[in-house]
Structure 1
Amino acid sequence: MKLPVSGRAAAAGAASIVMLLTIGSTAGAAPAPGPAPLAAAPDIPVANVKAHLAQLQSIATANGGNRAHGRAGYKASLDYAKAKLDAAGYTTVVQQFTSSGRTGYNLIADWPGGDTGRVVMAGSHLDSVTAGAGINDNGSGSAAVLELALTVARTGYQPTKHLRFAWWGAEELGMVGSRYYVNNLSSTNRARISGYLNFDMIGSPNPGYFVYDDDPAIEKTFKDYFAGIGVPTEIETEGDGRSDHAPFKNAGVPVGGLFSGADYTKTAAQAAKWGGTAGRAFDRCYHSSCDTSANIDDTALNRNADAAAYAVWTLSS
């Protein structure tokens, strides 16, 4: 998550099937079909998400300690994700742009099928700051979205709507990659996106459970998931408008997402309902060299990844 100007950053219930029983129907007449049930969202294995994080850490370590825009670590991170998606059957596109005199890249992956007139997108920024590996910010969101996309392929999910996943470049410089993507969509293609879901920092070591309130339907979808597992949520305000959902929202696309907290301090009331340590930042390593693979809360990462899957399955069915 990028810093704002001030210096701070941002079940599926089965559908009821109406069985139409025809009394006294002619022999051999078949009952009228009811609507298909919603597909149940799968569990996203947190071990798989952690394996992606380990790869991102290794990439950073091998490339000067970071995965920042215009650096070798960023391109290697993108290449890692692209190879996984290509092997899983996605149609991938690498979108190139320039910012601060360096070349940046977005990775867009489309799952074949579904109504391309109604697109559900899930995305995260893949870049870190130059200070460190960026494993919570935002390896956590990137790894979860990657595993979510791979789970779609592994389960053979065929949604009613079209699914698209994205990994953005240069978010830390001001949502440059996502803004470039949105600005280069035709008005027709922008209108086809029925929802964009953003996942920026979802494994904070002293976590909170924050839900974006930009779109009521998407907000309710996430809240329903967390209510179902008995975890209270709060509206996300720390990084409001400071991550990659902002360009979509500004273009009129419904947006939503999850966030586990950055450098704001967890209050006593928040610690009472979520656990963790009051008086300490949600992420003490925010934008620092200590944002490594040790800077992750597995429980928060697991819950948020499963919530992401629930939202994608629910909103695309």
Structure 2
Amino acid sequence: MKLSVPGRATATAVVAAVSLLTGGSIAGAAPAAGPAGSAAEPALAAAPDIPVANVKAHLTQLQSIATANGGNRAHGRAGYKASLDYVKAKLDAAGYTTTIQQFTSSGRVGYNLIADWPGGDTSRVLMAGSHLDSVSSGAGINDNGSGSAAVLETALAVARAGHQPAKHLRFAWWGAEELGLVGSRYYVNNLSSANRARISGYLNFDMIGSPNPGYFVYDDDPAIEKTFKDYFTGLGVPTEIETEGDGRSDHAPFKSAGVPVGGLFTGASRTKSAAQAAKWGGTAGQAFDRCYHSSCDTTANINDTALNRNSDALAHAVWELSE
């Protein structure tokens, strides 16, 4: 999640392979499916369980990348590009059509990674995304390796299941979020109005494994919000409306462009109250993430239960909202 500071970096674009990003069709895309449960189209299966061990394995790789590249995965640094290459290789091997979008911010080159799953109605696109960059002070494993790894593992679960929903699925990993939502803003600003209108929803995942976690749901699009809340209700886990990071993550450019948005969050630098500790566990009077934007945001800075629940909620929303 980006620093809350005045002023935002601007992005100057150099775009590679933008046809997938701004065009209306995807090679191999199928026409819209009939209603779920009809004779032409059987009801879609429920989302699979997302193995938290797989998500944590991605986090281990991101930690190793940071360690080998000056301790961080920040915009314009070698660790960021190595992180992107890691994610891209996994998606390419799984059958995704991947596209790298290049931009410049603060004098350094940055990258967005977009992955399209072949099939589905490209006039109705469901997106799920996360920022892949860290701050320069640390490896950024909760902020935002957690969201990036969960989105990646959900995308891989789509491929393993051979999932073919009615809507077209697109996953994204954003660059330079920590400098002011630069990558996601650039992506949205370079979509035509017609292609913005094709995005039926954008789901954002920024910090979903905080070590002293809360369970926060964005209160933006009502249908997306209900999808997440209903999932957690089914687990017997109470939720609260997310306020700490409102407008400070990559859903904001989509929301400003009129795209329905939603997402999940487990808390950053704010302090967990006694009431929140009573319903969620953890430590009252302590930050949700004491290592926010710090060098201690490593693989030791993750709550496995929160990461597991939020990864499964992510997959549930992708399956549910892509019908």
Give the TM-score normalised by the residue count of structure 1. Answer: 0.91
Aligned counterparts of 2:287 and 2:5: Cα–Cα separation in 1: 19
Tell me which amino acid in the other structure corresponds to 2:4.
P
Structure 1: how far apart are the matches of 2:36 and 2:104? 50
Contact 2:44 2:165 in 1 (8 A): no
- Cα distance in structure 2, aligned partners of 1:192 and 1:17: 24
Determine the structure 2 residue equivalent to 1:68.
Answer: 74
Partner of 2:65: 59
CA distance in 1, matches of 2:37, 2:70: 56
Counterpart of 1:107? 113
Q: CA deviation at 1:36?
A: 3.1
Q: For 1:176, which of 174, 182, 186 is the aligned residue?
A: 182
Query: Matched residue pairs, number?
Result: 295
Shift of 1:5: 3.0
Q: Which runs of 5+ in 1 are unaligned?
A: 7-14, 19-32
The CA RMSD measured in Å over matched residues stands at 1.3
- 1:204-248 deviations in Å (ceiling 9; x for gaps): 000000000110000000001000010000000001010000000
1:273 aligns to what? 279
Aligned partner (choices 202, 212, 219) of residue 208 of structure 2: 202
Question: Within 5 Å, which residues of 2 pair with 1:14-163?
Answer: 33=39, 36-163=42-169
Secondary structure in 2 aligned to 1:66? coil
- Corresponding residue of 2:26: none
CA distance in 1, matches of 2:216, 2:197: 27
Q: Deviations over 1:233-285 (max 9, x none)?
A: 00000010100000000000000000000000000000000000000000000
Unaligned runs of 5+ in 2: 7-34
- SS in structure 1 of the partner of residue 293 of structure 2: coil
Counterpart of 2:270 (choices 264, 269, 278) is 264
Deviating beyond 6 angstroms after TM superposition, the runs of 4 or more aligned structure 1 residues are none
Residue 224 of structure 1: aligned partner: 230
Q: Give the 3 Å change call, closer, same or farther, for CA 183–16 of structure 1 in structure 2.
A: closer
Tell me the secondary structure at the aligned position of residue 226 of structure 1: helix
Q: Percent identity of the aligned residues?
A: 86
Secondary structure at the counterpart of residue 294 of structure 1: helix
Deviation at 1:17, TM superposition (A): 5.3
| Residues in 2 aligned to 1:79 and 1:154: alpha-carbon distance in whole angstroms | 21
> How far 1:39 moved relative to its partner?
2.0
Letter of the 1:265 partner, please give it.
Answer: T
Larger Rg: 1
The residue number in structure 1 matching 2:299 is 293
TM value normalised by structure 2: 0.90
Match of 1:247 among 242, 253, 259: 253
* Aligned twin of 1:234: 240
Distance 1:138 1:244 in 2: 12
- Cα deviations across residues 179-226 of structure 1 (Å, max 9, x unaligned)? 000000011110000000000000000000000011000000000100
SS of residue paired to 1:158? coil
- Distance in 2 (CA, whole Å) between partners of 1:160 and 1:132 is 40
